Structure 1
Amino acid sequence: MIIGTAEIFPLRGRSKGMALATTSNWIFNFIIGMVSPDTFGGIGGYFYLVVAGFRLFSAGLLHFYHVETANHTLEEIAVAFGARAFADSDEEVMESAKKGDKTIHSEV
């Protein structure tokens, strides 16, 4: 399952990035589905150790390399990843995002 990939891609390449992420997800799920029965038949219950090893490796990558994007605006995320999707400077974009955020919360 792809979690949070839409926020990582810059605005101008988001649709292509999401298409690539979804395609690769389906391809790798298909490969795993085709290989798993033969692998399980060959090594038996040890197959679960292989799966657990991949899960631990993925958890390490997630912990050390992925950036938390929850509770951030798209502008903040774009600036954090270095996207140059805005004509204005990063500071001007962040100021306008903060002003817009305050007006939304004050109206509620």
Structure 2
Amino acid sequence: MIIYILCLLLFLVGLYGVIAKRNLIKIIIGIAIMECSINLFFIMIGYVEGGTAPILSKGFENAKFVDPLPQAMILTSIVIGLATTALLLAVAIRLYQKYGTFDIRKIKDLKG
């Protein structure tokens, strides 16, 4: 149960970074922290104490297996998260090249 609370706490730390910070890089880091907390949460849902890999062979009739679906979803989520983070960083770099700052308040005030 404590692991789920820690996942929620990690998500809230990322949400704080997205809402409270004005630097684009810090906002992107907050989004990445939120993605990691969600991935950790889904991995913990699929965990089975003493479970083995779901490979069927003789002698495993009554064995406990780990659910492979959350693991496959998380692998996909990691790839999507990496692509999203790379895209956000590319946009942030382009904004810095155009406006000379990462501060979203200053970018919003500038026209051009």
Instruction: Compare relative contact order (CA 8 Å, sep 6+) and give the higher one, 1 or 2.
Output: 1
By the TM > 0.5 criterion, same fold?
A: no
Give TM class, smaller chain: 0.3 to 0.5
| TM-score, scaled to structure 2 | 0.33
